[in-house]
């Protein structure tokens, strides 16, 4: 009997639940994470996360580990990690290989009995929605008493919304999405400058996911700087999901860092539309604000997760969207966004930083009005 798929198949590769769990453990301020699986699993992200100060080590399961089990290896690595790195908080994350052969992460914890909390995440990459990796990690953190029930429930709602956003207009919206570099930055910058010169009014929105805001904010910053340079600074209204009081510790810290940078540069933030983990829902606030106050504005620059913004009140504006996903270009164009710019490889550049990072579009904008 054939296996029947619950939902239509998606052909392009999409984010991994294991990686999602790793990032969540970083947000939970885990010192060392042990990936129980083959040495190459999640290599690229494991490496990147070290930039943020979280060590990622692996039990390096090999062919014989798959056959004979890897519990001794996991116990050994756990003991080594405790001895060598003296962590205050440890994570153990499953992989496809270790989960298929039925490894029980808890068995190693039972055998070693560490004095510090261990977040055990029984996850593989076979979930349709990578947010499942976040949920499993948070469930385990809740069980370990690291987060409270209220934060857990809040996160669960956000993750559900994030999954819906991706299904509606994101990476899970079509069975295949062609990657694209988007529109030429030079052309897009030119158009923004032209609109500003014509005295048009624009809404400048940062709706970014967590640390990616370190670079997306640079584009919003550049828009303000260019407007001021052209003497039309007051034609721009700024909104950002930079609430410093929401989210896991790192998320709050990131919001604070970016706010301080913007403040230091004299940027006035007119509206805070949510926390850095609220990108799936902050668009609703934007929608209401526009209906109330800015419905007659001419254009909008939306950075981060532009496809999470409802189109209701922006559809008549000229829309400039900046994403970091090459597969996000086609869905944004389909939604009616006029200009879509991709900041390629943005995410890796926003790890291990605590200040705004220069973006290509931001640099282009600044360069083009340098002599104005």
Partner 1 sequence: MPRQIAIYGKGGIGKSSTASNVAAACADEGYRVTIIGCDPKSDSSITLLNGRRIPTIMDLMRQGVDIKEDDIVFNGYKGVKCVEIGGPEPGIGCAGRGIIVAINLLRKLSKALEEADLVIYDVPGDIVCGGFVAPVKKGLVSETYVLTSGEYMPLYAANNICKGLSRLDVKFSGVICNSRGAPNEENIVNEFAKEIGSQLLAFIPKDVIVQNCEREGYSVIEKAPDSGIADVYRKLARRIMADKETHIPKSLDDARLRELTQI
Applying CB under 8 A, which residues contact partner 1?
1, 3-6, 69, 99-104, 107
203 contacts 301 by C-beta, under 8 angstroms: yes
Residue 72 backbone phi and psi in degrees, to 5: -65, -40
> Which two tokens mark 319?
């829309």
Beta-sheet pairing, 236-240 with 55-58 = unpaired
Among the listed residues 42, 69, 235, the one whose alpha carbon sits nearest the alpha carbon of residue 123? 42
The least distance separating partner 1 from the CB of residue 135, rounded to whole angstroms, comes to: 13
> Which CB, 153 or 316, lies closer to partner 1?
153
The residues, ordered by sequence, that sit 6+ positions from 148 with a Cβ below 8 Å of its Cβ are 142
Closest separation in Å from C-beta 131 to partner 1: 17
Structure tokens at 295: 């419905």
Decide whether 133 or 306 has the Cβ nearer to partner 1: 133
The nearer residue to partner 1, 99 or 258, going by C-beta atoms, is: 99
- Kindly state the smallest distance separating residue 98's Cβ from partner 1, in Å: 9
**Total Cβ atoms within 10 A of residue 171:** 20
- Give the pairing type, strands 118-121 and 318-323: unpaired
Smallest gap from Cβ 107 to partner 1, in A, equals 7
CA angle 222, 196, 234 (to 5 degrees): 75
Residue number with CB closer to partner 1 (104 or 261)? 104
Cβ(97)–Cβ(123) under 8 Å? Answer: no
Closest to partner 1 by CB, 1 vs 150, is: 1
**Minimum CB distance to partner 1 smaller for 3 or for 150:** 3
Rounded to a whole number of angstroms, the minimum distance from the CB of residue 100 to partner 1 is 5
Which of these, 355, 309, 348, lies nearest to 328 by C-alpha position? 309
- CB nearer partner 1, residue 98 or residue 257: 98
- Could you tell me whether strands 299-304 and 202-207 are parallel, antiparallel, or unpaired per DSSP bridges? parallel
Q: CB 96 → partner 1: shortest distance, Å?
A: 10
Residue 265: how many CA atoms within 13 Å on its side-chain side? Answer: 17
Question: Least separation, in Å, of the C-beta of 280 and partner 1?
Answer: 23
- Give the nearest distance from C-beta 70 to partner 1 in angstroms: 10
CB nearer to partner 1: pick between 100 and 184? 100
Structure tokens at 108: 């190693």
H runs (alpha helix) in the chain:
17-27, 43-51, 63-68, 71-85, 96-100, 105-112, 131-143, 149-169, 185-197, 213-229, 249-264, 282-289, 329-335, 346-349, 360-368
In the complex, least distance from residue 103 CB atom to partner 1, rounded to whole angstroms: 7
Residue closer to partner 1, measured from CB, 101 or 363: 101
């Amino acid at each position: 009997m054939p296996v029947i798929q619950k939902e239509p198949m998606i052909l392009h590769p999409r984010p991994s639940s294991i990686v999602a769990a790793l990032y969540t453990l970083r947000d939970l301020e885990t010192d060392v994470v042990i990936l129980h699986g083959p040495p190459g699993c999640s290599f690229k992200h494991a490496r990147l996360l070290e930039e943020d100060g979280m060590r990622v080590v692996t039990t390096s399961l090999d062919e014989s580990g798959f056959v004979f089990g890897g519990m001794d290896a996991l116990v050994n690595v756990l003991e080594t990690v405790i001895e060598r790195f003296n962590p205050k908080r440890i994570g153990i994350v499953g992989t496809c290989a270790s989960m298929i052969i039925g490894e029980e992460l808890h068995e190693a914890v039972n055998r070693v009995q560490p004095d510090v909390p261990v977040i055990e995440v029984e996850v593989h990459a076979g979930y349709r929605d990578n947010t499942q990796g976040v949920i499993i990690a948070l469930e385990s953190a809740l069980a370990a008493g690291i987060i409270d029930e209220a934060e857990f429930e809040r996160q669960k709602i956000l993750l559900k919304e994030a999954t819906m956003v991706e299904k509606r207009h994101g990476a899970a919206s079509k069975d295949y999405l062609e990657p694209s570099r988007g529109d030429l930055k030079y052309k897009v910058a030119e158009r923004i400058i032209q609109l500003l010169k014509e005295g048009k009014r624009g809404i400048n929105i940062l709706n970014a996911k967590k640390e990616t805001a370190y670079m997306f904010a640079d584009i919003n910053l550049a828009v303000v700087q260019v407007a001021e340079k052209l003497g039309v600074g007051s034609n721009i209204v700024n909104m950002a999901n930079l609430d410093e009081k929401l989210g896991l510790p790192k998320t709050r810290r990131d919001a604070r860092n970016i706010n301080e940078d913007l403040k230091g540069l004299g940027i006035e933030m007119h509206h805070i539309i949510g926390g850095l983990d609220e990108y799936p829902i902050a668009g609703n606030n934007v929608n209401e604000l526009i209906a109330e106050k800015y419905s007659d504005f001419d254009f909008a620059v939306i950075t981060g997760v532009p496809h999470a913004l409802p189109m209701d009140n922006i559809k008549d504006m000229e829309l400039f969207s900046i994403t970091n996903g090459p597969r996000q270009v086609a869905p944004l164009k389909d939604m009616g966004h006029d200009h879509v710019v991709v900041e390629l490889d943005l995410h890796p550049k926003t790890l291990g930083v605590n200040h705004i990072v220069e973006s290509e579009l931001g640099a282009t904008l600044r360069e083009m009005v340098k002599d104005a």
